[in-house]
Structure 1
Amino acid sequence: MSTIGISRRGALALPALFGLAATTRGAHAQGGLKRVRIAVGTTNLNLAYPWLTLPVALGWWQEAGYAVEVLPVGASLQALQQMVAGNAEFAQLNSSVVIQANVQNNIPVRAVMNNGVIDWSLSVLEDGPVKTVADLKGKTIGVFSLATGGIAFLRSYLRAAGMNPDSDVRLVPVGLGAPPIEALRNNRVQALLYWASAQAGFQNAGLKLRHLRGEDWQSYPDFTFSTLQKTIEADPAMVEAIARGCARATEFVMASPDCQRRLHWARWPSTRPTGADEATLAQWDLNNLEAQLGSMHAAHAMNGGQLWGRATPEAYGRIQTFMQEAGLIQRSIDPATYMVSIPDFYTKINNFDAAATRALAAACPAT
């Protein structure tokens, strides 16, 4: 995600990052709290980032001594740039950007938490003629853009089905929102290649879909809460505290997705969807959230099913191997390099009262 990286919306080239000028001052005390900034690879901090937004909404990081800002900055590349420039202590990235940063640019990014798996799929009309990937031969597939990261997985999927990805299908960019929905409805495209939350949006619009994906896709880690090695070395207690808030938030949202929705709407009202009655809007956002929770559950199971956020060298080794075989990177490194070196890190960040957290979610302190 060569120097082309896999992202949800675009394949990103990593330029020379260290020339960036910092636009804000470094971390400093604010009223006795230590300032921490998290750059997120998105333009819309919606409710699909509960591990980052719930600790803010519920004041957990403030109680732990940290004034945390969660900053949407664009795509994963921009989040990485902000962290490298010193404008953020953490960044929410795609796993491929973590790998590229280390392999291609020698930037020591570390996987603090694995928050999801590769959740791309091909969606086709449920009552349409396409039942299997083989039925896509000669068909047109809509994508966000011709640089969108899921194309690397699509090409591998097509080759595994005995097809030539360069000649057996046609890709057309259809963007986001209404255009891909209309393109599929009107048969301008016969399939859509998008990530899970986008697919949930298509279903919110009334499309009845069947999803096709490679059997291996969900064996690869994707969303990765990250920091730099120098941050770990300088303040391991801070890294643990911030990650513990993320792990506790994950426990909370798994217990009550609707409470997460209510808290998010109260804290960030501008992110609420529009265009329908309250119950429909709530269901739309819950559908988007459930798509993300499915990816979080899959990552949890892939990494042992015991500790929220756990990242493993085995999982990051798999996505690194995929990237090298796909020609997205030219070499590999020891996958243990991507891991946080703090002993018993995932046990430490899961050291919170899970039962009390679930009870809080059930009671739901949303206003």
Structure 2
Amino acid sequence: MQRPVLRLLLASAVLTLMGPLTTARAEKLVFSPTTTDISVGHAAHSSIPITTKCWVNEGLDIDVVGIQGSTAGVQQVSAKNVAFTTVGAEGVMMARAKGARIKAVYTYARSTIYRAVALKSSGITKTEDLKGKTLGVIAMSTGAVPYGRQMLKAAKIDPDKDVQWLPIGEGGQAALGLKRGDVAAWFAWDTAVAALKTQGLEFVDIKPPYHDALIGNVVAVHEDFLATHKQEIPKLLRCIAKATIFGLTNAEKTIKMHWQVYPNTRPTGDEAEAMKKSLLVYESRFAGYQVPAGVKWGENLASQWNETAKLMKEENLLPADFDPSTSYTNEFIEEANKFDAKAVEDEARK
């Protein structure tokens, strides 16, 4: 009778020494949009997966940390300081051409996010009007700079000799620079332009002839991370796909959820005025999220990558022998699309 009791006491002692049993915690992974202004246009890879607990339910521990500019995004992924970043396809290809081991795993914006705008009152209507002018950018590290340089070259304007570049930030600082005439045009991205429109500024869009052929933004990772996190990557991407559908289904609900996570993004004014302003920002980005018929969420299309690479080669932004297919993979797309889209739409409508 004493032996069972002795065994029980010994087992109890061992458990006491071991301390309380705990389950393994998920690895902390950092997802970095390449902007410090995580507006509602970024809700599909920030606030929606957070508020719906999609990432948590997938067993992931994700921190969304904005960093300024595509150059910084590429650098941080290359240095393995962050797991995921959002960057233009052109940024991925230029980085790989220089030896960076970065690869796109998901295309989330189907058309380029970059914009060149001038105030309507300036009289500027086309690229050729920019020769000899000072051009504003948010920062020289952003993807809008190579977009602008390529655009100028296509119009036979030397981006190093025929214009001057001036970083003027975004928001009120950029608005002031445009109003004062410090810059003749501003190279930024869709949501940043939309934010100034909410302040009453009226713009002329200046687009190169190939604008609609360019790819938008992608989710990119380091090749080492790709090799070691084959379970985590499709889970994160699945949540982005579901969040995109959620956002496209119910804009106002998406905006209110985003305000909960990022209260500083709520515009000034009463509820109706704030919603009106936020819808401008939302529509500027979500309009480019819808996938064409027959294309899976996040799927990288060879035709788009090849066309973008072709244009970049023509402007000497890529080596002539660069193979764009090395810059992306669709390895995780099938798994990322394994969910009930109708159920997501129904949840968004509640």
Aligned-pair distance for 1:36?
4.5
User: Number of matched residues?
Assistant: 326
1:37 corresponds to which residue?
29
Distance 1:135 1:80 in 2: 32
For the structure 1 residues 88 and 124, does the alpha-carbon distance in structure 2 shift closer, same or farther, using more than 3 Å as the test?
Answer: closer
Q: Does 2:79 align with 1:92?
A: no
The structure with more helix, counted as a fraction of residues = 2
2:44 paired residue among 48, 51, 56:
51
Write out aligned runs for 1:153-192 (5 A): 153-161=147-155, 163=157, 165=159, 169-192=163-186
What value does the CA root-mean-square deviation take over the aligned residues? Answer: 2.9
- Largest Rg, 1 or 2: 2
1:359 corresponds to which residue?
346
1:289 corresponds to which residue?
282
Distance 2:223 2:335 in 1: 18
Percent identity over paired residues: 23
Contact 1:33–1:66, Cα closer than 8 Å, also in 2: no
Distance 2:105 2:172 in 1: 36
Q: In the TM superposition, what whole-angstrom CA distance separates every residue of 1:56-97 from its partner, at most 9, and x where no partner exists?
A: 211112222222222224433444444444444322233233
SS at match of 1:231: helix
Distance 1:77 1:149 in 2: 7
Distance 1:213 1:89 in 2: 33
2:107 paired residue among 114, 117, 121:
114
Distance 2:179 2:56 in 1: 48
SS at match of 1:101: helix
Aligned-pair distance for 1:149?
3.9
TM-score (norm 2): 0.80
Distance 2:80 2:142 in 1: 28
Aligned-pair distance for 1:250?
0.9
TM-score (norm 1): 0.77
For the structure 1 residues 179 and 71, does the alpha-carbon distance in structure 2 shift closer, same or farther, using more than 3 Å as the test?
Answer: closer
Aligned-pair distance for 1:293?
1.0
Runs (4 or more) in structure 1 with deviation over 6 Å come to none
Write out aligned runs for 1:198-209 (5 A): 198-209=192-203
Aligned-pair distance for 1:231?
3.2
1:14 corresponds to which residue?
none
Distance 1:360 1:245 in 2: 14
Q: In the TM superposition, what whole-angstrom CA distance separates every residue of 1:172-210 from its partner, at most 9, and x where no partner exists?
A: 443322233233334444432221111111211101222
For the structure 1 residues 164 and 111, does the alpha-carbon distance in structure 2 shift closer, same or farther, using more than 3 Å as the test?
Answer: closer
SS at match of 1:205: coil
1:12 corresponds to which residue?
none
Write out aligned runs for 1:76-155 (5 A): 76-107=70-101, 109-116=102-109, 117-126=111-120, 128-137=122-131, 139-145=133-139, 149-155=143-149
1:4 corresponds to which residue?
none
Unaligned runs of 5+ in 2: 1-21
SS at match of 2:220: strand
Contact 1:48–1:289, Cα closer than 8 Å, also in 2: yes
